[in-house]
A and B are shown apart, each in its own frame.
Chain A
């Protein structure tokens, strides 16, 4: 099962709908204990950095994520804000500490050419810089949907973690990878075919060879909360 972390703001249903479309079990949860049962963890986007990070901390997710992802090596996919959380800090409305798994800071987009507006909203092609399993089988310059005002600027020592970039009046960090930790600034759940392919690739990383066995063993228990959306408590 893939756990989608609910911190009160993200576009959870969009992400859950996308996993459902590719035939994957996904559990939306605001309970950090559920990460224990998950094979992979997704932290979706949409939200302001400071408030969202505070909420993650309040719900005990910071500790649980560190334990599950860093300690136990469970695959992590951060989408949009979920990528930005990997940074040491963010400069969105003040300075807020992040998870600190990647040396770098989240900074406001500052396109030199003013024809490029901020937020960066719309479809943009990304240039794949380093081979990444998430891009397997995609076109060489896939097109994804972006909607953001900030992006991760990594320290030079971390530059090898960049897996793709796009251009929006400046070079923008589109995706990063540190081992089993993945982050995408764009929204695969809203990028039609190539987005769904990327999510499929993530589930392949999550389940490896045991994927089908895993799928059948995780049924029933969470059905009531799974993908429920509307009735789910904040």
Chain B
């Protein structure tokens, strides 16, 4: 997962995005594609909409280098914006704040683009003692919603996938919150992707085995390790999890020239 603020890749710690990682998003996507990551999620966490044009431009460029599914989110609040992102090269779109405020937006998007294109991103805060609450507006506004209730409602409104992020875990390197994960997984019959808090490859394995997630995601950790996604998958495979073993990326496509755009 790549988190972009004002067009730059940033590190995320409890939803504060201060540390700019010195990588262009396009370079990161190029690496991830070659290292056979299975999907790429790109989030725009810019503080205001003024930077949106820059995000759109970057998205258009990185989509040209991305031959795995590309999920895009942040500031998505209308069918038109979803259409625009798909047109720029997104395959799926995540909705968060707008979906909580207007769940019918999920229904509208599912009708036009199909449920498989509509991912609901849920940000959860742990108040302690298993007392969880959904937050919106980049983790700033409490909603009073229970994560598993909201996941179920979102699914009923047309969501095809849940992207579950634990705010307290974000950047804290303790692994996913398995108790939260499992409750959400059990509440819905659509795939759930776990996000937030990965430090070790074992955390990825735990997300699947202990949390029951259908997919695991991480951001910060992948930026600091060479061949990170490949190593992560090798580890998961050695732990008995069936993963797509590293298929050579587009670079191995050598029987004909592959024009690359910069």
Decide yes or no whether B74 CB sits under 8 A from chain A: no
**CB within 8 A of B116: which of A13, A148, A193, A232?**
A148
In the complex, whether A194 has a CB less than 8 A from a CB of chain B is yes
- Minimal Cβ-Cβ distance residue in A for B159: A119
User: Which residues in A have some Cβ–Cβ distance to B below 8 Å?
Assistant: 8-14, 17-18, 20-23, 46-48, 51, 81, 93, 114, 117-119, 121-123, 143, 145, 147-149, 187, 189-197, 200, 229-230, 232, 234
Candidate in A23, A47, A234 with the most chain B CB atoms within 10 angstroms: A47
Q: A9-B83, A14-B63, A193-B248 are known contacts. Are A117 and B189 too (CB-CB below 8 A)?
A: yes
Q: Tell me if A122 and B112 are in contact (CB < 8 A).
A: no
Nearest CB of chain B from residue A196's CB, rounded to whole Å: 6
22 pairs, A vs B, C-beta closer than 8 Å: A9-B113, A21-B67, A22-B256, A22-B258, A46-B114, A46-B116, A48-B111, A114-B189, A119-B116, A121-B161, A121-B215, A149-B116, A149-B160, A190-B68, A191-B67, A191-B68, A192-B33, A192-B249, A196-B67, A229-B60, A230-B60, A234-B83
- The verdict on B38 contacting chain A, using a C-beta distance below 8 Å, is yes
Kindly list chain A residues whose C-beta atoms are within 8 Å of the C-beta of B90.
Answer: 11
A20 to B257, CA, bound (A): 11
Q: Does B153 contact A (CB under 8 A)?
A: no
Whether the pair B256, A23 counts as a contact (CB closer than 8 A) is yes
Asked whether A20 lies within 8 Å of B91 as measured between CB atoms, the reply is no
A195 interface neighbour in B64, B67, B89, B112, Cβ under 8 Å: B67
Contact, CB under 8 Å: B191 / A121: yes
Q: Which of B92, B112, B259 has the most CB of A within 10 A?
A: B112
Q: Select from chain A the residue with minimum beta-carbon distance to B244.
A: A123
Q: Given the complex, which residues of A lie within 8 Å of B66, measured CB to CB? A: 17
Write out, one digit per residue, whether chain B residues 213-254 have a CB within 8 A of any chain A CB (1) or not (0): 011000000000000000000000000000010011110110
Chain A residue at smallest Cβ distance from B190: A117
Which of A14, A122, A192 lies in contact with B89, CB distance below 8 A? A14
A93→B87 contact, CB < 8 A: no
B117 adjacent to chain A (CB < 8 Å): yes
Give complex CA distance A234, B84 in Å: 10
CB pair A145–B56 under 8 Å, yes or no, is no
Q: Please pick, from A20, A46, A192, A196, the residue contacting B259 in the complex, using a CB distance under 8 A.
A: A20
CA distance A191 to B90 in the complex (A): 14
Kindly list chain A residues whose C-beta atoms are within 8 Å of the C-beta of B189. Answer: 114, 117-118
Q: B69 near A119 (CB under 8 angstroms)?
A: no
CA distance A196 to B259 in the complex (A): 13
Q: Smallest CB–CB gap between A83 and chain B, Å?
A: 14
Interface residues of B (CB under 8 A from A): 33, 36, 38, 56, 60, 63-64, 66-70, 83-84, 86-92, 110-117, 160-161, 189-191, 214-215, 244, 247-250, 252-253, 256-259, 261
Bound Cα distance from A5 to B191, whole angstroms: 30
CA distance A11 to B91 in the complex (A): 6
Interchain nearest-CB distance for B198 vs A (Å): 19
Do A193 and B63 touch (CB < 8 A)?
Answer: no
Which has the most chain A C-beta neighbours within 10 Å: B68, B91, B189, B190?
Answer: B91
Of the listed residues A48, A149, A187, A234, the one surrounded by the most CB atoms of chain B closer than 10 A to its CB is A48
What's the Cα separation between A29 and B261 when bound, in Å?
23
- In the bound complex, what is the Cα–Cα distance between A193 and B189 (angstroms)? 31
Complex CA gap A119/B193 in Å reads 13
Query: In the complex, A43 Cα to B6 Cα: how many Å?
Result: 35
B121 to chain A, nearest CB (A): 15
Complex alpha-carbon distance, A149 and B66, angstroms: 24
Q: Do B256 and A119 touch (CB < 8 A)?
A: no
Task: Sort A-B residue pairs by CB-CB distance and give the 4 closest, nearest first.
Answer: A13-B89, A119-B116, A123-B244, A147-B116
Pick the contact of A118 from B86, B190, B259 — CB < 8 Å? B190
Residue of B nearest to A232 (CB): B87
| CB-CB nearest in chain A for B33 | A192
Pick from B60, B249, B250, B261 the residue with the most CB of A within 10 Å.
B250
In the bound complex, what is the Cα–Cα distance between A22 and B117 (angstroms)?
A: 26
Interchain CA distance A14-B86 in the complex, whole Å: 9
Kindly state the separation between the CA atoms of A69 and B178 in the bound complex, as whole angstroms. Answer: 52
Q: How far is the CA of A27 from the CA of B190 in the complex (A)?
A: 35
List residues of chain B with CB within 8 A of the CB of A122.
38, 191, 214-215
